[in-house]
């Protein structure tokens, strides 16, 4: 069956959708170019598609038969492009409309994960019309300091702040609401920062080796993610065997609770008691030369080209 699919796919035009309109456009272009090269190296008829506002016309004109999504952030990772592709009857990689929308909305994802009986830090939503000074005082009472302030719908840690004082929180709130709109605050969990890549191969879900992240900055922010040398990557994560196993199990449960498909990456914090706390899910993880998922795949003996091909197969399996 797999061999048949590979032969069949090599007769199709595969559009690698990249770029897009979000704040992660540059990262997406890097991911997309890497995936495009890998597909071409494997003999696929792959073409680049910049998923901007005329993306439907570009897909139609290029006669795309399968879409490989290398998009990140709004309009690419939030169910928007997924809905368009379903309307155009084009198979695509990654999660479907609902799971993509849930994964992109961090508050919605946390609610679903918590309702599934899994741990996620306490949080509080912030109304768009709420005064930053009043909001900061409320958040300090409800969640304490330090806390993490985040946009509800952004990726790559854009707009995320670790606030240790009331003044920092007031300032970050004012800036965040103005730039990103909807924001929320989350209790800070001290401990080991980890991420678990999940991939579907031969119809079975597999948790790749868990990656421990030791950033030089306060936390794993945008700079630490995409600047070489700013983060120490430890594979596998330095966790006790039982803690490691439970973290992998939590990642798989999150994947299924959100309804992900094909592949995703689950970010978690492990506290001093060894408990894994869900932070967020990335339904279209980065595929750059510095991205986590390819590193995890390499640790599992999966080359970059093998990883890209496995992801492609989930679009039509």
d(CA 137, CA 195): 32
Which of 78, 170, 267, 292 is the catalytic position? 267
- Both structure tokens of 29: 């272009």
Quick check: is 92 catalytic?
no
280 is catalytic: yes
Taking alpha carbons only, the member of 227, 86, 107 closest to residue 156 is: 227
- Give yes or no: 140 in active site: no
Catalytic residue among 95, 100, 156, 161: 156
Query: Which residue of the set 23, 286, 304, 309 is catalytic?
Result: 286
Query: Of the residues 44, 75, 220, 226, which is catalytic?
Result: 226
Tokens 């061999």 correspond to 3
Are β-strands 211-215 and 192-201 bridged in parallel, bridged antiparallel, or unpaired? antiparallel
Question: Active-site residue 114, yes or no?
Answer: no
Would residue 130 show up in a list of annotated catalytic residues for this protein? no
Q: Of the listed 280, 291, 292, 304, which one is catalytic?
A: 280
**How many residues in total does the chain contain?**
317
Beta-sheet pairing, 13-18 with 45-50: parallel
Q: Is 44 a catalytic residue?
A: no
Distance CA 147, CA 136 (A): 11
Of 85, 223, 234, nearest to 158 by C-alpha is: 223
Q: Are 258 and 250 in contact (CB under 8 A)?
A: no
101, 78 in Cβ contact below 8 A? yes
Write down the catalytic residue from 19, 20, 23, 24.
24
* Catalytic residue, candidates 282, 291, 292, 309: 282
The residues near 144 (Cβ < 8 Å, ≥ 6 apart) are 187
* Alpha helices (H) in the chain, listed in sequence order: 2-9, 25-41, 55-61, 80-87, 97-104, 106-115, 132-143, 166-180, 222-226, 241-258, 292-299, 304-313
Q: Is 304 a catalytic residue?
A: no
Active site residues: 24, 156, 226, 265, 267, 280, 282, 286
């Amino acid at each position: 069956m797999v061999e048949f699919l590979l032969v069949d796919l090599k007769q199709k035009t595969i559009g690698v959708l990249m770029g897009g309109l979000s704040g992660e456009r540059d990262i997406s272009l890097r991911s997309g170019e890497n995936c495009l090269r890998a597909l071409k190296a494997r003999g696929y008829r792959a073409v680049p598609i910049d998923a901007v506002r005329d993306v439907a016309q570009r897909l139609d004109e290029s006669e795309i038969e399968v879409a490989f999504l290398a998009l990140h952030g709004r309009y690419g990772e939030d169910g928007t492009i997924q809905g368009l592709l379903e309307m155009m009857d084009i198979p695509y990689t990654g999660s479907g409309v609902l799971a993509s929308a849930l994964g992109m909305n961090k508050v919605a994802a946390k609610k679903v994960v918590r309702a599934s009986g899994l741990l996620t830090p306490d949080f509080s939503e912030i109304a768009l019309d709420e005064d930053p000074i009043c909001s900061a005082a409320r958040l300090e009472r409800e969640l304490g300091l330090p806390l993490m302030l985040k946009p509800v719908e952004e990726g790559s840690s854009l707009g995320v702040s670790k606030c240790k004082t009331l003044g920092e929180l007031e300032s970050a709130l004012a800036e965040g609401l103005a730039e990103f709109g909807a924001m929320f605050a989350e209790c800070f969990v001290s401990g080991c920062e980890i991420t678990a890549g999940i991939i579907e191969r031969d119809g079975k879900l597999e948790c790749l080796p868990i990656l421990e992240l030791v950033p030089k900055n306060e936390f794993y922010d945008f700079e630490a993610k995409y600047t070489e040398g700013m983060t120490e990557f430890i594979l596998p994560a330095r966790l006790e065997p039982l803690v490691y196993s439970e973290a992998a199990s939590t990642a798989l449960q999150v994947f299924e609770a959100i309804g992900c498909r094909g592949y995703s990456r689950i970010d978690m914090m492990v506290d001093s008691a060894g408990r894994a706390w869900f932070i967020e899910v990335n339904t279209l993880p980065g595929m750059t030369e510095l991205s986590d998922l390819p590193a995890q795949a390499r640790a599992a003996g999966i080359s970059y080209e093998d990883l890209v091909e496995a992801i492609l197969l989930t679009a039509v399996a």
